Amino acid sequence: MNRRRILRLLGSSAFAAVVADTTRALAAPIKPDDKSALLVIDVQNCFLPGGSLAVKEGEQVVPVINKIAKAFSNVVLTQDWHTPEHVSFASSHAGKKPFELVDLSYGKQVLWPDHCVQGTDGAGLSKDLSIPQAELIIRKGFHKDVDSYSAFTEADGKTTTGLAAYLKARDISTVYVAGLATDFCVAWTALDARKAGLDTFVVEDACRGIDTQGSLAKAWTDMAAAGVKRISSADIAA
């Protein structure tokens, strides 16, 4: 083989690496250790088929999450946990419809159908989730006038849920994020995990997005810029 052909082959394999999609497993599967936690975001009835804010294919994340969870000794679950008449509900704003934007004191807020009201069946975790070793459930969005997509910090940008302090106290430095919805609670959680100095992975096929007004593409761009690593469930050792 001549030199030019070798160079051409090298060039094409470099190109193949750049376009490699996340459905291909990494060379070496990841084995989560005791310093790693799986964050399972908002796998709640309201976001599943028949729910008031059903995410397309949302139910498909459940078996994937159940499977990867077996590789983790530390698992934290979250629940979106709104008051009745929460500020994020379109029904709380005269003349507004779901998926419209409003300006609130802390910035722009997408308005949603009523969802995940405290104590309702819709706010319950999917009955098909099977993660008995999960150690903590973080509830968020329980202040009537402030939303909280992130499991770390409310939408005012300052009120914490305590999750960063909990992970620090438990000596956890790496998080894997999965659940619903990719472009809201998963993305905001992953971005705040980076702000908390955590090594952060999002397991793409263990998430599904809402995708309103370009939100899904923007979420992946923002997460990549923040150093969030995008992986597939196949990258995690069974």
Considering only residues 111 through 170, tell me which ones interact with Zn ion, judged by CB under 5 A. Answer: none
CA-atom Rg of the chain in angstroms: 19
Number of residues interacting with ligand VGL: please give it, by CB under 6 A.
8
**How far is Cα 114 from Cα 60, in angstroms, rounded to an integer?**
23
Strand partners, 91: none
- The SS3 assignment for 102 reads strand
State yes or no: residue 192 binds ligand VGL (CB under 6 A): no
String of contacts with Zn ion for each residue 210-229, x by CB under 5 A: --------------------
- Does 80 participate in binding Zn ion (rule CB under 5 A)? yes
In the complex, the smallest distance separating the C-beta of residue 217 from ligand VGL, rounded to whole angstroms, is 16
46 near 118, Cβ under 8 Å?
no
**Distance, CA of 69 to chain centre:** 15
Which residue among the candidates 46, 116, 185, 207 is catalytic per the annotation? 185
Return the structure tokens found at 92.
Answer: 């709380």
59 binds Zn ion (CB under 5 A): no
- The owner of tokens 């009120």 is 159
CA of residue 138 relative to chain centroid, distance: 14
DSSP 45: G
Segment interacting with Zn ion, rule: CB under 5 A, options 75-83, 194-202, 213-221, 229-237:
75-83
Is 70 among the catalytic positions?
A: no
Whether 116 is catalytic is no
Catalytic status, residue 140: yes
112 binds ligand VGL (CB under 6 A): yes
CA angle 212, 201, 162 (to 5 degrees): 85
Q: Count residues contacting Zn ion (CB under 5 A)?
A: 1
Binds ligand VGL (CB under 6 A): choice among 185, 207, 216, 228? 185
Q: If you search the block for the tokens 């003349």, which residue do you land on?
A: 95
**Region binding Zn ion by CB under 5 A among candidate stretches 20-28, 76-84, 163-171, 201-209:** 76-84
Is 181 one of the binding residues for ligand VGL (CB under 6 A)? yes
End-to-end alpha carbon distance in the chain = 41
Is 184 among the residues that bind ligand VGL (CB under 6 A)? yes
> CA-CA distances (angstroms) from residue 39 to 16, 174, 202?
31, 10, 10
Residue whose C-beta lies closest to Zn ion: 80
* Least distance CB 201 / Zn ion (angstroms): 23
Restricting to residues 124-143, name those near ligand VGL by CB under 6 A: none
Please report whether residue 155 would count as binding ligand VGL according to CB under 6 A. no
What are the catalytic residues? 42, 140, 185
